[in-house]
Amino acid sequence: MANRKYIVGNWKMNGLQAQLSDIAEIAAVAAAHPTVDAGICPPVTLIAAASQASPGFAIGAQDCHFAAKGAHTGCLSTAMIKEAGATYSIVGHSERRADQQESDADVKAKAEAAHEAGLGAIICVGETEEERDAGEAIDVVCVQLSRSFPDGASADWLTIAYEPVWAIGTGRVPSVDDVAEMHAAIRTKLAELMGQGSDAVRILYGGSMNGGNAAELLAVPNVDGGLVGGASLTAEKFGPIIEAAGAF
Ligand code: PEP
């Protein structure tokens, strides 16, 4: 049986208090599509207000630290984001892997810390354009997934997001065949890594998904949803993606 579609918006470093109304509008669209799991990961400064304003709508964090507490200036523990109202966290986004030099081991530890705190985790993996051009995309992503994979994983808290780095924020999207090939490879790798229960782990596609291409991408086998950046900032843009997911 196919998994419920899961559509998550990653607001990155966008959003002030004035944009809380956009989250409320998006939550209303999500409520109108109860067969879809939808959520927004706003900047940390908006998590508490967003989760209070839209109870029942899944608010997440964009990152968390793997340590429970300590001398990590500027970082946030899983307990802190949970207390603010997040129910899950993205970990290992390619922007953090590049900008903050996060390693696969860091990502694994962050996912395990999220689970320990009772949070879900969305682990991001994806190849660069050079790696794809060299024919290495599947190998690179499978190695990244294996090394970032948390101990004790299960589908009730773990989600994988395949995000080709070259497709993020560029308006470029891989072909449907390439997405199908990669998601099938990730599904096979998940079976190797966790055995039983791996079919229920949702694999999201991320990278320039929008209202115009969502239906086609979401129809690809093993694409269980989307991780969406730019097109998640307003209900006008994000709503059609949730609606497209509702058709499955
Ligand atoms: C992302 O950063 O996770 C993302 C998918 O961004 P965009 O949709 O803007 O490509």
How far is ligand 1, taken at its centre, from the CA of residue 168, in Å? 5
List ligand 1's pocket residues with C-beta within 6 A: 10, 163, 168-169, 206-209, 227-231
Is there a domain that residue 243 lies in? no
Parent domain of 161: 6-12+21-26+37-49+59-226
> Candidates 208, 210, 217, 232: which one to mutate for ligand 1, based on the most atoms within 8 Å of Cβ?
208
Percent of the chain with pLDDT over 90: 99
The verdict on whether 93 is a catalytic residue reads yes
| pTM passes above 0.95 | yes
For residue 75, which phi and psi values (nearest 5 degrees)? -100, 165
Which is the catalytic residue, given 65, 93, 115, 183? Answer: 93
Q: Which amino acid is at 22?
A: D
119-133: pLDDT as tens digits: 999 999 999 999 999
Is there a domain that residue 239 lies in? no
Q: Is 1's pLDDT higher than 60?
A: no
Q: Which ligand 1 atom is the nearest neighbour of the CA of 163?
A: 5
The verdict on whether 163 is a catalytic residue reads yes
Is there a domain that residue 142 lies in? yes
Mean pLDDT of the chain: 97
Q: Which ligand 1 atom is the nearest neighbour of the CA of 170?
A: 10
Is there a domain that residue 248 lies in? no
Cβ neighbours of residue 31 closer than 8 Å, sequence gap 6 or more: 56, 57
CATH number at residue 130: 3.20.20.70
How far is ligand 1, taken at its centre, from the CA of residue 232, in Å? 9
Is there a domain that residue 115 lies in? yes
How far is ligand 1, taken at its centre, from the CA of residue 71, in Å? 31
Domain total for the chain?
1
Is there a domain that residue 234 lies in? no
How far is ligand 1, taken at its centre, from the CA of residue 230, in Å? 6
Q: Which ligand 1 atom is the nearest neighbour of the CA of 93?
A: 3
131-164: pLDDT as tens digits: 999 999 999 999 999 999 999 999 999 999 999 9
Q: How far apart are CA 102 and CA 48, in angstroms?
A: 26
Is there a domain that residue 66 lies in? yes
Q: How far apart are CA 220 and CA 232, in angstroms?
A: 21
- Pairing status of strand 37-41 against strand 6-10: parallel
pLDDT at position 2 is 78
pLDDT at position 237 is 98
Quickly state the pLDDT bin for 198 (edges 50, 70, 90).
Answer: very high
Is there a domain that residue 83 lies in? yes
Q: How far apart are CA 156 and CA 187, in angstroms?
A: 16
42-89: pLDDT as tens digits: 999 999 999 999 999 999 999 999 999 999 999 999 999 999 999 999
